Amino acid sequence: MYGIDKNEMEKPVEGDINQQWYKLEPDRLCNLLETSSEQGLSRQEVRKRVSYWGPNIIETEKEVTRWQIAMHQFKDPLIYILLGAAFVTLLLQDYFDSIIIVIAVLLNAIIGYIQERKSQSAIRSLTKLGIPKAHVIREGKELEVPGSELVPGDIVLLSSGGRVSADMRLLSVKGLEVDESALTGESAVIHKTSTPLDQEKLLPADQKNMVFSGTTVVKGRGKAVVVRIAGSTELGKIAKSVRDIGIVKTPLQEKMDHLGHTIGYLVLAFSLIIVALGNIYSMDPDEIFVTVVAMAVSAIPEGLPVVLTVTLAIGVSRMAKRQAVIRYLPAVETLGSTTVIGSDKTGTLTKNQMTVRHIWADNQLFATTETGYQLEGMVARDGRPIELKKESGLYYALLAGTLANEANITGLESGEPQGDPTEIALHVSAFKAGVQLSDVHLSFHEIDILPFEPEKQFMATLNKNADGRFIFLKGAPEVVINKCSHQVVDGHIISIDREKARKAAIKMAGRGLRVLAMAYRRSSSNLLSEKDVQEQCFVLAGLQGMEDPIRPEAIEAVQIAHEAGIRVIMITGDHEETAVAIGRQLGLDPDGKGALEGKTLGQLSDEEFDRKLRNINIFARVTPEHKYRIVKRLKQVDHIVAVTGDGVNDAPALRAAHIGVAMGKGGTDVAREASDMVLSDDNFVTITAAIEEGRIVFSNIRKVTFFLLSTAVGELIVIFVAILMNWPLPFIAVQILWINLVTSGLQDVALAFEPGEPDIQKRRPRPPKEGILTVRLMERLGGVGLVLAVGTLYSFWWAMEQTNNLDMARTVAMTQMVVFQFFHVLNCRSLDRSLFTLNFFSNKFLFLSLFSALLAHISLLYVDFMQATFRTVPLAVEQWVMIFFVGSFVIIGGEFDKLINKWRKSFIG
């Protein structure tokens, strides 16, 4: 840092940068940081502190060069095998297959390269958030300096619309409200105070006298002293978490790695066996080499990486049509294997638009219809619309709600609401009852205002109309009710029944509503002072209870997830009562376990937390560290975890999860950069739709893998048996390459276009440790391989007996394997359902691919130059009849196998 060894320097301030600054009195704070709230720091002191603490910039990880990232993509067992296959095919002068294999390798390298480059951009997005301009006081003068030049002890002036550039302790405030949702996850705007707080180890969301780097001032003014900069800020800690997590491999990548290792070991083992058998049978070394090459070529599914890429790309296209934008191809499949979804609340499960649901006035309870900020709906009593009477308590409750209010009416009426969500909701509720907002605000001219302050828990306005002056009061029920001596009921002002009003407020709060009380009184003042609202002479008008309404479709989506065997948990920065109320409406708390708060979570050991995690689905008042820990522990117990988020605070969890899902509309750039998928409509329903597509993708990958490996198994058995029986090889290496090309060049790609099976969304998630091939599928693979091998060996023997021509026998054997795969690919359209129950033409591309492959193979047998290249001869009609007859046995075997499997599931499970 500026060439100075920090350890050799004298520390410029005495304070511990990590201490609990919110507990200190302003004077003590300034003394500790050796600064003055009026004069600020001197320029010399700033230079000294910059030299010690360094610039106020979040450190980024050392960027790996593009060349290093590119080379890293080739460190994969399947890639090594494919490169070996490319080299062998090059030696055999089969340039077409060499090109196909190289393209497959390059496609995988490009995908991996994009992933690793993307991981660095998340850190860069965090860095950009921390360096806006700042207004400071230095040597008694106000200056504007880059946020990167702030140091601990700097005095900063905050104003509406500004972004906070360091962690600061507030020294004084005037109606200061800050949007911390991106950092803490709490949906409501935070009203700030400068009063010291006594509690120990408060979460950032509860530190009302602190402002944090990366947050935004919504309104009001404040003066603050910088206490933490750069990596020590809450934003910096999140950046470090994201940086430390690194790249998380998807389950599909891990399974493909395992498959690559397995294939590699099998190729090596069979090569050694063939060499040993060759020596036993005194085979010529050149013949042993050719045989090993033939075996290796048959065992390697050259087309698998290409088809994997195509299958994932098809999934990306299908998901995009359902509002899910995939940023990284392997993430397509991950959703299909998800066992737990950790969802944010605000904007994902809820609309993120506060709505008044109930109004208590005139000793009655009223309800509203419709939700959100649209100016539509009504206020009803017992399901019937009310007629608003101007002297009623309901009228004054609605009037106070819209007049003691700083949200912009013009923006609301034009469809672009601006202001505190709570205050917007009060405007909307007044409109629903028939209050003409613009007319009321014109007739009740605002003279003065006392803005909301957290320590007072109310706001008031002084308004004047033709009847005189009125003070309208809005605030917490316990505060407003105590300021009232009377209440209005059906146009009559009577003595207040405080107990009844309090019980009504408690009942509304018990439903998870945020409750505000409204009151009014006449006044003769020209200005509004604290004295005007201290007297117990207000008239209580009523209570309004509001909530961030659940998306109607979210309830059904959660139910769909549950039916699919996927657990849904809600992780939010909101308060416990709100989280539980929302969670229960969504069906996330059927056993009444309630919520686990972040402060409690932080005190639990991993073992204690794991026990809680098994039973609790709602987590409230969580920090980024808590959310990351939830994800980490779920992964530790072998869950496949998807996490949704929209804020900076969600970035560590989004990166750590198997799949991070960010919000496209209301999310931050940081969240999007840390994620694998973006919901363009911010809707939880889209996640369940994407899960269905993800399951289809994995199902098709499994079908393709099974199809390709069945050819490899059949070919291996043919070669192995031929060597054991001291026969000539039924096909040479170049013919094996042709078999692999003509059977997997198009048919395997066509399987990627298979539509989903009807019950795929209701199936239980597959076990997280289950590979691409299950035990049952490997049994089936062995069975299919035996059918292919036995049929091919029989056809080879039959042709030798009939013609005594090795080229003819090899042509028959090669064609037999090709026809087997023509039939077998039809079996692979469904691994469970009978071929004859499927819609025959639902995958037109498959039938087009079969027709094209058949034409290509016929040309191989009857075109002169291709005969010379592949050492084939034309086949007679009786040979074609025999080949198709033998080939049909793979369909018979497949149908019998599916029948046995269905019986096993019915009676054994």
Answer yes or no: are the C-beta atoms of 556 and 531 closer than 8 Å: no
344 in catalytic set:
yes
What gap in Å lies between CA 424 and CA 412, rounded to an integer? 8
Nearest to 875 by CA among 819, 812, 816: 812
What gap in Å lies between CA 832 and CA 538, rounded to an integer? 73
What gap in Å lies between CA 448 and CA 524, rounded to an integer? 13
CA distances to 136, 499, 521 from 51, rounded to whole Å, are: 19, 62, 59
Joined together, the tokens standing for residue 56 give 């106020």
Helices (H), 54-94: 66-72, 77-91
What gap in Å lies between CA 111 and CA 47, rounded to an integer? 46
What gap in Å lies between CA 199 and CA 186, rounded to an integer? 20
Four-point Cα dihedral 305, 307, 313, 317, nearest 10: -170
Secondary structure of residue 362 in the 3-state scheme = coil
Q: How many CB atoms lie within 10 A of CB 416?
A: 10
What gap in Å lies between CA 174 and CA 535, rounded to an integer? 23
Nearest to 289 by CA among 302, 275, 279: 275
By the 10 Å C-beta count (0-12 exposed, 13-18 middle, 19+ buried), 656 is classed as buried
Answer yes or no: are the C-beta atoms of 738 and 813 closer than 8 Å: no
Joined together, the tokens standing for residue 616 give 């609790």
Nearest to 524 by CA among 473, 474, 471: 471
Please, which residues have CB within 8 angstroms of residue 280's CB and are 6 or more apart in sequence?
Answer: none
Joined together, the tokens standing for residue 289 give 């080499």
Nearest to 504 by CA among 382, 365, 356: 365
Answer yes or no: are the C-beta atoms of 524 and 594 closer than 8 Å: no
By the 10 Å C-beta count (0-12 exposed, 13-18 middle, 19+ buried), 263 is classed as buried
Catalytic residue among 167, 344, 748, 897: 344
What are the catalytic residues? 344
